[in-house]
Amino acid sequence: MKQAFRVFAGASIAVLTLTACAKTTPTGAPLLPGQTPTVVLPSAAPNAPCNNEYFPARKGATWTYASSGSPSGAFSFRKGIDEVRPDQFSVGVNVNGKTIHETWLCQPEGLVAQSMVLMDAASLLALDKFSELQVTNVSGLNMPPDITAGASWSISYDVQGAEKDQTGAVIATMTGQVIISYTATGKESVTVPAGSFEAMAVSVSSVINFSVVQAGGTSNISVNSDYIAWFAAGVGWVKSSGTGTLGSSEYFETIELQAFSIP
């Protein structure tokens, strides 16, 4: 099961949530003798595209997660906001001794990931196995600017990558398509190691089809999964839990937020 699981790139919803900070310039009347100047701190622009309630995009913010129950075994990973611009932000992911970079675009319609997002065991194995992963033909969005119960949205994209041996020679190539559908079901109370939250529950259904070409031939792989992901306002993604099928085998995974820090 584990060996089969490692030949495909998983995606997800992931998922995932951000608030960008825009700098303001202090203004006011000239100071009188003896007065102390007032320092105006940077504040979030209310209508900025990156100012997402369920993904606080603040430079220096970090989230640590742990997964259990997946075919790949238990694993943990840490996400951190490296850089925030008015129209995009970057996320560094530390997992299995390596760093993976995610790029997110902030559009009026919502947040759109332009790279593979680490959100579950499938995506971890894909990012670990394949290098030079590229996402193209992105349509839709990962997260709208506001999430209310009953809201639905989706994203689809093509992905390709290569597996290399220790010498750097390509030994397999992968191409595929990912379609993810989201439906917000309402707020629920959720408790994880990082704390207790009132979080928006989002149903996430993924349909993934991949082809892996190597010396022995071509393998066609389909993966379907149904998860519930919970997002807390001002915190972000706090938990995911669900099932997936790889061929005739079924797996169950739970990912929980262990700790977080948002400046």
Q: What angle do CA 192, 180, 134 make, to 5 degrees?
A: 100
User: Would you say residue 32 lies in a domain?
Assistant: no
pLDDT at 11: 37
Residues 6 or more apart in contact with residue 234 via CB below 8 angstroms: 19, 53, 56, 262
User: Would you say residue 40 lies in a domain?
Assistant: no
**Sheet architecture: strand order including 88-95:** 110-113, 98-107, 88-95, 75-84, 62-68, 249-261, 236-246, 217-232, 195-214, 170-192, 152-164, 131-140
Compare 17 and 55 and report the one with higher pLDDT. Answer: 55
Residue 3 tokens read as 């060996």
User: Would you say residue 239 lies in a domain?
Assistant: yes
Q: What is the pTM assigned to this prediction? A: 0.78
User: Would you say residue 72 lies in a domain?
Assistant: yes
Please give the tally of structural domains in the chain. Answer: 1
User: Would you say residue 29 lies in a domain?
Assistant: no
Residue 20 has pLDDT above 50, yes or no: no
pLDDT at 255: 96
Q: Tell me 43's DSSP state.
A: B
Do 187 and 21 touch, CB atoms closer than 8 A? no
What is the CATH number for 247? 2.40.360.20
User: Would you say residue 36 lies in a domain?
Assistant: no
Q: Any idea which residue has 């559009």 for tokens? A: 107
Q: Which amino acid is at 137?
A: N
pLDDT at 249: 80
**90, 212, 204, 195: which is closest to 159 by C-alpha?**
212
Q: What is the pLDDT of residues 30-68, one digit of tens each?
A: 444 444 333 333 333 445 788 899 999 999 999 999 999
Residues of the chain above pLDDT 70, percent: 79
Q: Measured between alpha carbons, how far is 233 from 237 in angstroms, rounded to an integer?
A: 9
User: Would you say residue 204 lies in a domain?
Assistant: yes
- Residue range(s) defining the domain that contains residue 204: 2-21+45-261
User: Would you say residue 242 lies in a domain?
Assistant: yes
Q: What is the pLDDT of residues 64-81, one digit of tens each?
A: 999 998 877 888 999 999
